[in-house]
Amino acid sequence: MKSLWNEEEAKQYTDELGLRVYTSQLLGRDTNLVLHGGGNTSVKITEKNILGEDVDMLYVKGSGWDLETIDRPGFSPVKLDHLIKLANLESLSDPQMVNELRANMSLASAPTPSVEAILHATLPFKFVDHTHADAIVTITNNEKGKERIQEIYGDRVVIIDYIMPGFDLARLCAKQFAEQAHEKTEGMILLNHGIFSFADDARESYERMISMVNEAEEYLKREGAWDLDFSGAAATPPNIESIAKLRKDVSVTVGKPMILSTVSSDKMMSFSQRNDLATISQQGPATPDHVIRTKRLPMLGTSVSNYISQYESYFQTYAKNARDEKTMLDPAPRMVIDKELGFISIGKTAKDANIVSDIYDHTIDVILRAEKLGGYRALSGQDIFDMEYWDLEQAKLRKGGSSPEFTGEVALVTGAYSGIGKACVEDLLAKGAAVVALDITPEVTTMYSRADFIGLECDVNDEAQIKNSIKKAVLAFGGLDIVVLNAGMFPGGCQIKEMETDVWKKVMSVNLDANVVLLREVYPLLKASPKYGRVIFMGSKNVPAPGPGAAAYSASKAALTQLARITALEWGGDAIRVNTLHPDAVFDTGIWTEEVLQARAKHYGMSVQDYKTKNILKTEIKSKDVAELVSTLCSSSFSKTTAAQIPIDGGNDRVI
């Protein structure tokens, strides 16, 4: 591990809080130190209050901020003298502690301070850094972890036996640091938890952290516990129907749709196929911080009922002691390890699932290196239980908050790169869905960079590409709940007497045949949807009101509409809803350039605006209007509607 300090970068930060931001971001850049909001940092600053009085403040990382991206607003200013006084109390519940922290901030809009704020306050240094460095937790999650830490650092660090984060930990650290620290003390090690470094200079505190962690890494190398071999794992083609069924089982247990992300890398497959997996994977997470993010232990195999049965007493213990059983965490797993599928992470959103996956990727390294060092020994079952049902975590659950309509659900949209398809993608994302976007345009793969979106280049005329895209969708998110059949083509105007056979076949292939293949492939996934599958067919005004010169398009859309009706009949027994929209005059799509609009308006003797609104309601129809109707049809508002055909055209006299 090397220092990332850059003198030119550091010159941009001219004050103490700025330097605190900079070195925090440096720590956050290395996932071997912190992951997804883990770790925390602080700086002690003297500043004037509104009365002009000097006040010592602790600026500590606020809850919900990630060190890699933290900026000034991510640090919460708390009165230092009050924190010191709190540390001297005999007892203080964690909810009381959080209240005291918030009540003594100098900025009401700042985030809630880290629960380790008091600990930071008691350390007599201006800058304090805390990480869950992989190398440190590898060594401390070991039968002789404390002895090994003493061997590496001697008396340069204060060693704290494990205790749950919160007030009791802060008080213990303050007491032991005062008793053991001396002028050469460089850091503090919390067994099974992490490491602290500190100094009165931002760079020195940061580089002490890097130096101490590097010593731990070098120690693991000397002990032959660093290099890991993940080759030779047997890979099997993933069964996407099995994944979708597992997702439904998990979702039913949780009581709402969940996202499942499957990782079948060499590392995950190698770990999942170990003979000692049932032992080494069931001891506990690498740090208590990971308990909060991943919940409990991995489920081995794919039977949720077996997992719940295994931990039945665990959940019953909490139920008996819960102040409000409505806040009880669901018994579903958040991680699955299967010898055929590899590793599956579970979350209410794709982001949550990715966090679980990232954390366990590092946990595997910790476990296997600790095994090489003499044996992995994590937190006790009681410690895991206490962290999961911590007062502060339960308070978050009680606070709750509503989620967007489609949170935890997965939508697939074809023809997704532009026009109505793109609008559908945007609206479904906004309403909480994870979205898989298919389009023949290569740029679909870079439409968005976010955890809940994947764009796949796919020619819907190619059956193999369709199957591969659906497979990728299930591996990414666990299944499908919503399918929007939007891909289509509109050839140039041509009367039947001039129709070329190839044009006719191509239109039928894209607008009709491709959708038959796609429907066939998604059926078992929609059948396994936790909230029942939904399909939206994108028809056309040309179905009820065709015009001359559009035989291929009109016939293909009419056949597609008939296909939708039959699909509704066949799939209704599986509670899959199938509905059709018939848009017309949606002019903000790729085929309607300004030149085309002007030409059509001139043909009718109208202005462009009048041409856009030549319907009964005199209103303009936009792609987002169609997208919003798609989402509404897929929502609970239309839970009892199937086989509907709904125009979205502002009212067309020929249709009416």
pLDDT tens for each residue of 375-409: 988 776 666 666 655 666 555 555 556 789 999 99
pLDDT in tens, 112-133: 999 899 999 999 999 999 999 9
The alpha helices in 11-56, defined as continuous H runs, are 16-28
Please report, for residues 43, 73, 75, 650, the alpha-carbon distance to residue 69 in angstroms, rounded to integers and kept in the order given: 17, 11, 12, 46
Domain 410-586+621-648 in the same topology as domain 240-399: no
> Given this structure, which CATH class describes domain 410-586+621-648?
alpha beta
Q: Angle of helix 514-527 relative to helix 240-254, nearest 10 degrees?
A: 40
The pLDDT-based confidence of 272 (bands split at 50, 70, 90) is very high
Q: Which residues are catalytic?
A: 553, 557
Q: Hey, what are 397's tokens?
A: 């659950």
pLDDT of residue 17: 97
Least confident among 16-25, 303-312, 322-331: 322-331
**pLDDT at residue 318 above 60?**
no
The CB density around residue 495, as the number of other CB atoms within 10 Å, is 10
pLDDT of residue 386: 65
**pLDDT at residue 325 above 50?**
no
Going across the sheet that includes 453-457, the strands are 453-457, 434-439, 410-414, 482-485, 534-538, 577-583, 645-648
The residue extents of the domains of the chain are 7-222, 240-399, 410-586+621-648
pLDDT of residue 317: 61
* Architecture in CATH for domain 7-222: 3-Layer(aba) Sandwich (3.40)
Residues 6 or more apart whose CB falls under 8 angstroms from that of 418 comprise 439, 441, 589, 590
Question: In which element (H, E) is residue 430 found?
Answer: helix 419-430
**pLDDT at residue 246 above 80?**
yes
Contact 185, 208 (CB under 8 A): no
Residues 6 or more apart whose CB falls under 8 angstroms from that of 306 comprise none
The pLDDT-based confidence of 145 (bands split at 50, 70, 90) is very high
Q: How would you label 106-136 residue by residue, b for 16+ Cβ within 10 Å and e otherwise? A: eeeebbebbbbbbbbbbbebbbbbbbbbbbb
CATH 3.40.225.10 fits 240-399, yes or no: yes
Chain length of the chain = 656
**Which amino acid is present at 651?**
G
The pLDDT-based confidence of 580 (bands split at 50, 70, 90) is very high
Rg value, the chain, Cα: 30
Q: How far is CA 486 from the centre of its chain?
A: 27
Mean pLDDT of 353-380: 91
**pLDDT at residue 278 above 80?**
yes
Contact 411, 482 (CB under 8 A): yes
Question: In which element (H, E) is residue 554 found?
Answer: helix 551-571
Which pTM does this prediction carry?
0.91
Q: What are the φ and ψ backbone dihedral angles of 43, each rounded to 5 degrees?
A: -145, 140
Please report, for residues 77, 100, 119, 127, 267, the alpha-carbon distance to residue 113 in angstroms, rounded to integers and kept in the order given: 8, 10, 12, 16, 37
